[in-house]
Structure 1
Amino acid sequence: MIARNVRAVVEQGLADGLFPGAVVRVVRAGEEILFDAWGMAEITPEQRPMRTDMWFDLASLTKVMATLPAVLRTLQAGQIDLHAPVQRYVPLFTQPDVTVFHLLTHTSGLLAWLPMYLRAQTPEAIYRHICERVRLEATPGTRVVYSDLGFILLGCLLEAVWNKPLLEVFNEQVFEPLGLDQTFFTPTHLKRTELVATEVGNAHERKMCADYAPAAEIDAFPWRTETLVGEVHDGHAWYGMGGVSSHAGLFSTARDVSRYVEMWAAKGGGYLEEHWVRLATTLHTVGIGDARGLGFQLYEDGAFGHLGFTGTSLRLHPATETQVIALTNRVHPHVQTDLAAWRRALHAAAFQL
């Protein structure tokens, strides 16, 4: 029944043109209920069918599949304090009242987005821009504003605390101990046929820049115009961070995303102490905006998870012990309609008793 209903929702999404293709995996109480692929991985300039073993640009799933566990392991190791000011670890940061907790809960007061990459094209330049030039829009702890800048700053913090490049931190603290051997940044070793396409160029972000910079500066920027395959879609991750960032840039398969979610289903599974699992999935933003744990978005049905702009999502429903990994390429060839209603239908079908 569950598999049939989930299939119907996915097929309706394809019929409605919400995305060219999708891979969905549903697991309940450790048993695979559904794992299948639909539609196309690419429609222009090539036409390639979707397969379950393909790699997706996970976009903001990076925040909870790389940065969140790395920060939690750093907390668990006693290397940082959750309620300490970020400035303790990143002295260059000019906002003394912003804590690690504020960054994780998106309550720092930092902007949601700013096209820093128009003028800052190295990780160091991006970090410096956030630390020295960005001012807060709200008092820390008073409002939820989902912020890429906040999670980029967490990457700067991780590098400073571990005194290693961000990629090494993620490999040592997350991917290797969790056995995520299909999860990585800059997948240059993969063939095009193994990767799912995203947008044709960066037309969507180029339009977003119009509110932040003169038209001449935007027009002179070296925007990508080809279909993006194996190159991170996000502008900051690509133009500013060399493909490796703490807010976006991760590529993975549905099976590896599912393997990661299984750690949360197992309440840490020996990787995280249960205390940190509870804290990450507890509501910390009552009365100030979206329901947020540490990193995760929380939902009224008791589930928690996260979304990625490219059309990806992961969600775990503890009450029914059900996980749903739904990876689509909704930005191919151009940014499609929001998937909120479709996701609600998908999860309702998957979490039914």
Structure 2
Amino acid sequence: MTDTPAFAPRFERAFDLLNASVGAGRIPGGVLGVIDRDGGRMVRATGYAQRVPREREMRTDTWFDLASLTKVIFTTTRILELAKEGVIDLDAPLTTLLPDLRQYDPGAWERQVTFRQCLGHQTPFPAVEPIYTYGRDADLLRAFILQRRWEKGPPVYSDINFILLGFALERLAGKRLREFDPGPGFAFAADPEKAAATEDCTWRHRVLCGEVHDDNCSALDGAGHAGLFGTADSVLDFAAGLFAGDTEGDETVALMRTPLSEKRTHGWERPYENWPGGALASAGTIGHTGFTGTGLWVDFDNGLAWTLLTNRIHPTRHFDSGIATLRQAVGDCMNAG
């Protein structure tokens, strides 16, 4: 579009916040992108895609390790599409596709977990597990995850839920996730010269750039919880597809908007107190963040979507980047009207 979108003033205020964060040395760089339901679009970059061991400027077409945006853009979408096609029953246990899950204990609680519970993070799996510390044999690690007696706890946001959903997709297709078509504008790796750098990894002994940052995803050679790469435009194109699907009454998008708990829908987050999408978000907004410094929010009520992509963990995660505050402030700008 050649006309200035109506949201342009909000975009400018939000970009000023990103620019200020970069100027203060909180994050190396970032890209902000916004679209509306009518096709208006603005994308702008600031700062550096890489600072260590050399500097490269951030560009609007820089590729990002999207981290947990993989959960919603890739895995959730495919699980819900299979449910729409009748291939998966969301309320059936994962054992319908993963019969070997805790196969030596028929009464194990893990064997009762359903696809829907995994999508909504309503399972007893732990929040985090350093699976990569058990080795680099991807097949052996898959067997370990399936046979491990997991410590049962209260429902929390857990990567294990989406690792298992990824295993289910692999079983159906008969191939690894990295062999899947990731969708238009996405990939499972990126050209290091065109990608935002992430961490100087302490166990891979190099600055990661164009290869997945998530330790468990790397060890598994691809997984359902992380590993997707994309640009701001590809993320916005995905959001545009959600707007179109919502208009057309697509069942997949409807489920993405359907609450499963106070904080979650099928795969996505919904507004709650202090959520990353800002305090002013409409009830019709869904969103998700990624550990590397990424995020996408889609406001169906107001027909506006925005993505904030940063390399906030470059060169280390052990630094207060202020990303939580920045995300909320950007969200408030987008929702301020």
TM-score range, shorter chain: 0.7 to 0.9
Identity %: 32
Q: 1:61 Cα deviation (Å)? A: 0.8
Structure 1 position 88 matched with structure 2 position 96? yes
Q: 1:12 Cα deviation (Å)? A: 2.2
> Structure 1's 108 and 64: CA in aligned 2 closer, same or farther, altered over 3 A?
same
Structure 1 position 293 matched with structure 2 position 301? no
Structure 1 position 128 matched with structure 2 position 143? yes
> Structure 1's 33 and 183: CA in aligned 2 closer, same or farther, altered over 3 A?
closer
- The answer for unaligned runs of 5 or more in structure 1 is 203-222
Q: 1:119 Cα deviation (Å)? A: 1.7
Moved more, 54-63 or 7-16: 7-16
Q: Distance in 2 between matches of 1:70 and 1:120?
A: 29
CA contact (8 A) 1:310 1:328 kept: yes
The correspondence of residues 206-221 of structure 1 with structure 2, limited to 5 A, is none
CA contact (8 A) 1:63 1:248 kept: yes
SS at match of 1:266: helix
What is the TM-score with the length of structure 2 in the denominator? 0.87
The correspondence of residues 199-238 of structure 1 with structure 2, limited to 5 A, is 199-202=199-202, 223-238=203-218
CA contact (8 A) 1:263 1:269 kept: no
**Partner of residue 108, structure 1:** 123
**Partner of residue 348, structure 1:** 332
Q: Distance in 2 between matches of 1:341 and 1:36?
A: 20
Deviation digits for residues 250-291 of structure 1, max 9, x if unmatched?
111110111111111123577xx62232222222114xxxx0
- 2:244 counterpart (266, 272, 276): 266
SS at match of 1:164: coil
Q: Distance in 2 between matches of 1:269 and 1:125?
A: 44
Q: Distance in 2 between matches of 1:294 and 1:131?
A: 23
SS at match of 2:224: coil
Q: Distance in 2 between matches of 1:15 and 1:137?
A: 44
Structure 1 position 54 matched with structure 2 position 30? no
Moved more, 16-25 or 335-344: 335-344
Q: Distance in 1 between matches of 2:93 and 2:84?
A: 17
**Partner of residue 173, structure 2:** 162
SS at match of 2:206: coil
- 1:253 counterpart (205, 218, 231): 231
**Partner of residue 278, structure 1:** 254
Structure 1 position 304 matched with structure 2 position 315? no
**Partner of residue 37, structure 1:** 45
> Structure 1's 166 and 4: CA in aligned 2 closer, same or farther, altered over 3 A?
closer
Q: Distance in 1 between matches of 2:256 and 2:80?
A: 9
Q: 1:136 Cα deviation (Å)? A: 4.2
Moved more, 24-33 or 63-72: 24-33
CA contact (8 A) 1:85 1:98 kept: yes
| Letter matched to residue 252 of structure 2 | W
How many residues align? The count is 310
Moved more, 333-342 or 252-261: 333-342
SS at match of 1:96: helix
**Partner of residue 241, structure 1:** 220
- Cα RMSD between the aligned structures? 1.8
Deviation digits for residues 187-225 of structure 1, max 9, x if unmatched?
3xx2x32111111114xxxxxxxxxxxxxxxxxxxx122
**Partner of residue 323, structure 2:** 339
Deviation digits for residues 7-37 of structure 1, max 9, x if unmatched?
2211222233321100111112334353100
Q: Distance in 1 between matches of 2:247 and 2:74?
A: 17
CA contact (8 A) 1:127 1:152 kept: no
> Structure 1's 263 and 113: CA in aligned 2 closer, same or farther, altered over 3 A?
same
**Partner of residue 215, structure 1:** none
Q: Distance in 2 between matches of 1:127 and 1:350?
A: 41
Q: 1:334 Cα deviation (Å)? A: 1.2
**Partner of residue 185, structure 1:** 188
> Structure 1's 123 and 78: CA in aligned 2 closer, same or farther, altered over 3 A?
farther
CA contact (8 A) 2:256 2:265 kept: yes
Structure 1 position 65 matched with structure 2 position 41? no
Q: Distance in 2 between matches of 1:14 and 1:330?
A: 10
**Partner of residue 296, structure 2:** 314
4+ aligned runs moved over 6 Å, structure 1: none
SS at match of 1:259: helix
Moved more, 103-112 or 143-152: 143-152
Q: 1:122 Cα deviation (Å)? A: 3.2
- The answer for unaligned runs of 5 or more in structure 2 is 1-8, 103-109, 273-280
